[in-house]
Amino acid sequence: MDKKTKILVVEDEEILLTALTEELNQEGFEVVGAKDGIEGVEKASQEKPNLILLDLVMPRLDGIGALKQMKENSTTKDIPVVILTNLSDYDKISDALSLGAMDYLVKANYRLEELIQKIKTVLERKETGAGPAAPPPPPASK
């Protein structure tokens, strides 16, 4: 690749957005940030990134809402989306995957190598046209 891979990070937690931006920059990606769902949808169609990291719980427009809008828009519908979640919320992750998200990352305690690996796999799968990752196992009953 001669051009840098562009990643859009949609995350409302300022410190996390800063950290992810810096980390991905260091790994050689070009990073665009967005602070909520609405900004995320706008940036997705303006910047046409190669991949979107999308938080689920956000003010104004949450991740699920943003994902729906991205998938409805012809310019953004083919951009692979990786869900960032802190909730370990089985239902929401399943929703996102069925809406067309490619994979998910539980962002608390994420390791950078894990994130980079996910990004690479998703981009490869995107090229080969493989489907999304398997949904997470249902939570163990109490």
Partner 1 sequence: MFSGTTSYIYIALAIYTVIVIIFIWWENRVMKTNLLAKESEMQRRMYEVSVLKELGERIGYSLNVQKIVDVITGSLRRLLPYSTVSYLLFGEDGRVIFHCILEDSVNKDFVLTVKNRMIEALGALAGQKISLDNLDESISGTITDETNKQQIKSFFNVPVVINNRPMGLLNVASTSAGLYKEDEMTILYTIMNQASTAVSKLENILNQEKGKLNSMVESMADGVFMVDTRNRLLVINPAAKNMLGISKVQPTIFDVLDALASKFDLRTKIEQSINQDKLMVEEQLQVGTKVLRILISPVKDVQNEALGAVVLFHDITKEKAIEKMREDFTSMMVHELRSPLTGIKSIANLLREEKIKNEQKKYQEFIELIVSNSASMLDLVNDLLDVAKLEAGKFQVVKKDTDIKKVIETKIQSFQALANEKKLGLASKIVGELPIIQADENKIGQVLNNLLSNAIKFTQQGKIIIAGFVLQKGEDLMQKAMSAGMIWPGIKEGVKFEADQLIVGVMDTGVGIKEEEISKLFNKFTQLEQSAASEKKGTGLGLVITKGIVEAHNGKVGIFSKEGQGTAFYFALPLNHEDKIQKTN
Look at residues 17, 20, 12 and name the one whose alpha carbon lies nearest to residue 36.
Answer: 12
Name the residue nearer to partner 1 (CB basis): 20 or 96.
20
Name the residue nearer to partner 1 (CB basis): 23 or 126.
23
Contact set with partner 1 (CB under 8 A): 12-16, 18-20, 22-23, 26, 36, 57-60, 62, 86-87, 107-110
Partnered with residue 54 across adjacent β-strands are 10, 83
Smallest gap from Cβ 129 to partner 1, in A, equals 33
Name the residue nearer to partner 1 (CB basis): 124 or 139.
139
How many whole angstroms from its chain centre is CA 13?
14
Yes or no: say if 63 and 37 are a contact pair by the CB < 8 Å rule: yes
